Structure 1
């Protein structure tokens, strides 16, 4: 490292840590409780589990998980240390931005005749300073669960940095190239959105390098890694409901996605230029009509920006680099895969480099016209303003009431803030205040059952269990998939000793469309406890089976017993062994399919439902379940055929038309969804409440 770089790094360290240092007194907020707290893989420093499973049950980000395990090993589940650790990683990301800016300026030497100190000294320092203190990065820096964003950005910048070094390294290019490729792998294991790096590098090399073919070949391993991780991380995100599949797959859906994607860059540019009214959940009304004036102007502006970038390639290559970096790295967060929320401050962490780089170029240009004193004065003013806003925002993450209070203030139309505030007040024992906020969720979104769940918890705490059962029952009637309501009912009956009722509710959790890995795990544990009461029967059957391993009758009885107890892995082993020993009955295939369905192994479930229906095509349950499985796999045509077949086989089968309506709703076909909802209400009045709730979604 050149000695001349040390003062710049010192300035960046002071700016970064000085801006965020008071955040070490903040606590755990929002998703920290879901992603971080109580995770055995972190507490036990289980490296094998971290790299071979979803360590927190939701995401496969082992490098992020490894850093958390290190933190836990050093200081335990300490919010203060985890915040401080986040700030240290953020500082490293700031340093990486600085060196990346230096390298990009040197890279443009092939285009520019010379690179003076304005470009190689001032530009990287201001770009990194603005990146360090800009309030948009506050979410990633101050939120412990933003660790994946910081690490992804850090490794993204470092990988790009070393690739650029390899491009200028001559005969020994492969050293920096291999380092770049290795760091890119670390990036992929830290944050999903980094998969766009090869596209960023490819565009830079195609625009600026004379050795285009050579770089096209060198980038093949990068693209291969991106493609592999794209499939893995996308499937994980869909299973965890991080990606929400509810959009139409036809032309209308594609047009809507393009319309929204064309407007998102302007949202982020606006926040970058005017950093105010921040919130964890933005409510933005993006037009979904591709031919609307708003979208047409947005697309026209993006095309003009791209043309400007290409036009500036020789006269001002830094402008071209900034624009390309921003637009290309933004692609993963343009909501082509429907994510929640649609926009968020942390999504801009990697694309922001393009914006701070462009801002630095503009200030360098200002200095060439007005003098360095004006340039330096403008830079200081901008940085100080950003520091003031960011310092103030650090307090947002103090506790749950603080962060959700800001959300309600700045996004009063978003239900998440009221749910968060309700939970915060509930946890501190202010039940009336909590229920007041929860009641607002009913006004804003009638289908949700958060108020009923909170009221049920309140009655449970007060010991009024009959009232709690009544309220939770209302919630289940409104929303049959409500895992929390089902689990709470199961737990009440479990504590009363009514294990049959409890088992029924716990088992329903596995058929729910909702995802809550913690409650699912708790339900499994409760079912195992309940199974302890039936262990004598299981032991007896297993003893008989040990003497007669070929007795399919005994094995079938054991499998059904385990299935009914919710011990699906053990039941599945017995079912598959029966199949292996030659049993080929539709009932066995149906049972296997149902177990796969409850385990969310949908392709296997679909195969066995089809085998069962081949032997017994008059089973409406099998047709309905096949439809549900196909819908979960987004095979909508097969789902529709299956539900229609169930209705034809058994016209009084109420859930087939309801599921068919839900399928059309998930596809975005409101006309057919409303038609079938109306049919279900008319034909099956007992489902009216459930149908009304789904129609309001």
Structure 2
């Protein structure tokens, strides 16, 4: 097979045949990845989309171009420096058009994979194979390869899909920019400056989708030199000047592309603040190995490992960190044989490539090597440290080269075997494609949910500490705490220096001393672990060690300036210490650093309510809801604030809006209280009955239900519920008060009195409650005509709470009945001073005046 310089015109195929091949490729992609459509947003998707403020419709578009892929400032020390604004922009468009529904995200990824597959076939037809069927088989192999599941089924893999598409388009535009129909006496000139500019722009877009996109420029220049300019070699006797003249068009293009790439890299470094991302040992253990030999041998073996994933993707995992691939520390490690085998294979391919170039034969091997090697260079640790050991999604682009080489080898074999050999090879290739398709469909199921993904890691790589840690995090979030502790323990056994596992274990233990040991061990390993600092600070805060807690929380903020919870906790500490101005300042600083934290706005609103700034609090509650429309806690808080201002209709609407998000007892309870306080007892009963069904162990909600039943006249059920609460709860003053009210309502004053005595025996901490109990007891004794005992109860009530005008009046009434008019007047006047508008008190004083005048004979 011979190929004209690059832009060879392949034999024309009928339009129907061409369209049918593209249709088959699309059908294959959809059939292999159709079951991924209904998957959730999992793993890195949560951080890149759900928790990324830049993708929200309300966020500024400018932030996409100043922040990294995860929504952090590029200048932030904790940033991974992954600058992919165009990919983030597609996430933002996804949300604008379809909301956060995962199915639309997955559908876009599948469509992109279809597009890449089709463009790959077109590229292979134009620049690689002479036979269209080989281009088609290459694309079929690419379409069904299982190693692509992470890139297609995981939403963050969109960066690889879109970068690959732009990579191919940039390459094709570059080829079109060169005039391949020139004479053999000089290298082909640039036929279309416009196409060259488009190629540069598409390559830049590929880089702005994912960093590996920039490698297309290397592929273009090498292809230009070896293929497009291949026949114009240095002829014997040519001088240097003559050689420069021959290669002048290529040199111009190469200089333009090189200058453009250098400018792009310079801008990128400027955006990064001139610093490289900081990764931990568990991200990339080999890069932290103290010996150069260990690093070299391990990196070399990882090249083989990635190649093996392309050749035989039987074992796939979403994370290959922390123990999945032990370091190669000795030249005698058996794995070095695999590395040597890869080196021999690549050498043989290179020699074959050189031979093909010299003979001006096909360029399939060259294209396979270019597409395989160049896109993988950024992930090879060759120029800079990367944040992973092996990542299957970074093989999406290199797999194009793998597919080309495999199909080239198949084509060579087919041309050298007989009919039976052809049948065997064809059947073998078909079997491989079927196995790959089956594996892809199965692997897609792994990405359907967070549980499926993390549990698959446990089965696939049980010696990987990271997969145990991730699975434990899922179990912790699912309140399966015992299982979570078990897997955190395994993660620590496999990797004892896992600071985050120690920190999370601390959050699960109920023993404060043990929790503190876990947090301190985590900080011994990583003194800058801001969450361990935060958790330890909160623990010490709860123990009253406020000074040390303040220091730790401040350090948590220093090492995590965008950690909103730390600002809230430290501001809460200041508020508890009555350092109101400092609390205000801390909340303001937190909102400045974390303007998109809905929880921070909500917590600030609670603080503002406590400091009497209700209007400002309402604004922050509404801001929290705007940032997170499902923030039901802020909705309930706003409802309570409106309720306190007697805006009952507005409060009710916010409670009901919160219930549209989730039906929880903590939302139903305040709504039930609103109905109760406004006399809507039937509605209150419905709400409280639902609340107790959701939280049957909550005694407060049962008591509220009993109170509503009592007011609605269903006193028997109210009494029964109250008795059940008393049997389950050691101390319940309000239960006895309610029983007293029920008995009093039915005229059972002795039972009401007994209930009040039981309530007083529990010795309530609140003096106001104790005063009210004595007052109620006085009322029952008065109903029983035990006036002296009633007087003593009222006296105890006013001693505890002197502003009870009713108790003073009742004391005056008893003295009035007893004939002690002087004492009665004193008590009446005291009550009147507390309640000057009381007509009853004034009438009682007038009656007292008439009695005294009658006794003294004064008319």
Shorter chain as denominator, the TM-score bin is: 0.5 to 0.7
Structure 2 Cα separation of the partners of residues 312 and 92 of structure 1 = 31
Shift of 1:284: 2.6
Q: 1:6 to 1:140 in 2, by over 3 A?
A: same
- Confirm or deny: 8 A CA contact 2:284 2:387 kept in the other structure: no
Structure 2 Cα separation of the partners of residues 104 and 326 of structure 1 = 15
Shift of 1:329: 2.8
Query: 1:196-595 to 2 correspondence within 5 Å?
Result: 196-210=215-229, 213-230=248-265, 235=272, 238-239=276-277, 241=279, 253=292, 256-282=294-320, 283-285=324-326, 287=328, 294=337, 298-313=342-357, 314-336=360-382, 337-369=384-416, 370=418, 377-459=427-509, 468-469=515-516, 471-477=518-524, 479-492=526-539, 500-509=547-556, 512=559, 520-524=563-567, 526-527=569-570, 536=581
- For residues 416-439 of structure 1, what are the alpha-carbon distances to aligned partners after superposition, in whole Å with 9 as ceiling and x for unaligned? 111011111111111111111111
Query: 1:595-634 to 2 correspondence within 5 Å?
Result: none
Report what 1:645 is aligned to.
none
Shift of 1:362: 2.4
- For residues 448-481 of structure 1, what are the alpha-carbon distances to aligned partners after superposition, in whole Å with 9 as ceiling and x for unaligned? 244432332224xx6x666644543443345433
Shift of 1:346: 1.4
Bigger mean CA offset, 133-142 vs 403-412: 403-412
Structure 2 Cα separation of the partners of residues 73 and 206 of structure 1 = 45
Q: What is the aligned counterpart of 2:98 among 75, 94, 97?
A: 75
SS at match of 1:413: coil
Structure 1 Cα separation of the partners of residues 367 and 45 of structure 2 = 36
- For residues 323-365 of structure 1, what are the alpha-carbon distances to aligned partners after superposition, in whole Å with 9 as ceiling and x for unaligned? 2332233222212233232222112111111111112222333
Q: 1:309 to 1:258 in 2, by over 3 A?
A: farther
- Confirm or deny: 8 A CA contact 2:492 2:501 kept in the other structure: yes
Structure 2 Cα separation of the partners of residues 287 and 172 of structure 1 = 50
- Confirm or deny: 8 A CA contact 1:192 1:233 kept in the other structure: no
Q: 1:242 to 1:105 in 2, by over 3 A?
A: farther
Report what 1:61 is aligned to.
84
Structure 2 Cα separation of the partners of residues 136 and 6 of structure 1 = 27
Structure 2's unaligned 5+ residue stretches are: 1-13, 73-78, 182-189, 233-246, 594-859
Structure 2 Cα separation of the partners of residues 395 and 332 of structure 1 = 29
- Confirm or deny: 8 A CA contact 1:127 1:356 kept in the other structure: yes
Structure 1 Cα separation of the partners of residues 267 and 295 of structure 2 = 22
Q: What is the aligned counterpart of 2:204 among 174, 182, 185?
A: 185
Name which one, 1 or 2, has greater alpha-carbon Rg: 2
SS at match of 1:29: coil
Structure 1's unaligned 5+ residue stretches are: 107-114, 540-560, 570-697
- Confirm or deny: 8 A CA contact 1:262 1:298 kept in the other structure: no
Q: 1:415 to 1:213 in 2, by over 3 A?
A: farther
- For residues 171-227 of structure 1, what are the alpha-carbon distances to aligned partners after superposition, in whole Å with 9 as ceiling and x for unaligned? 742232222111111101011122222222222222222265423431334334443
Structure 2 Cα separation of the partners of residues 507 and 213 of structure 1 = 62
Q: 1:323 to 1:434 in 2, by over 3 A?
A: same
Q: CA RMSD in A?
A: 3.7
Q: 1:221 to 1:187 in 2, by over 3 A?
A: farther
SS at match of 1:52: coil
Report what 1:100 is aligned to.
123
Shift of 1:75: 1.9
Q: 1:142 to 1:497 in 2, by over 3 A?
A: farther
Shift of 1:446: 1.8
Matched, 1:29 2:63: no
Structure 2 Cα separation of the partners of residues 355 and 405 of structure 1 = 30
- Confirm or deny: 8 A CA contact 2:488 2:501 kept in the other structure: yes
Shift of 1:287: 3.1
Report what 1:173 is aligned to.
192
- For residues 572-610 of structure 1, what are the alpha-carbon distances to aligned partners after superposition, in whole Å with 9 as ceiling and x for unaligned? xxxxxxxxxxxxxxxxxxxxxxxxxxxxxxxxxxxxxxx
Structure 2 Cα separation of the partners of residues 358 and 335 of structure 1 = 24
Q: 1:285 to 1:496 in 2, by over 3 A?
A: closer
Structure 2 Cα separation of the partners of residues 508 and 482 of structure 1 = 9
Number of aligned residue pairs: 528
Shift of 1:105: 2.9
Normalising by structure 1, report the TM-score: 0.68
Q: What is the aligned counterpart of 2:155 among 102, 126, 144?
A: 144
Report what 1:658 is aligned to.
none
Structure 2 Cα separation of the partners of residues 242 and 122 of structure 1 = 47
- For residues 17-70 of structure 1, what are the alpha-carbon distances to aligned partners after superposition, in whole Å with 9 as ceiling and x for unaligned? 111111122212222222221322211253211122236224321000000001
Structure 1 Cα separation of the partners of residues 407 and 85 of structure 2 = 35
SS at match of 1:25: coil
Q: 1:310 to 1:242 in 2, by over 3 A?
A: farther
Report what 1:582 is aligned to.
none
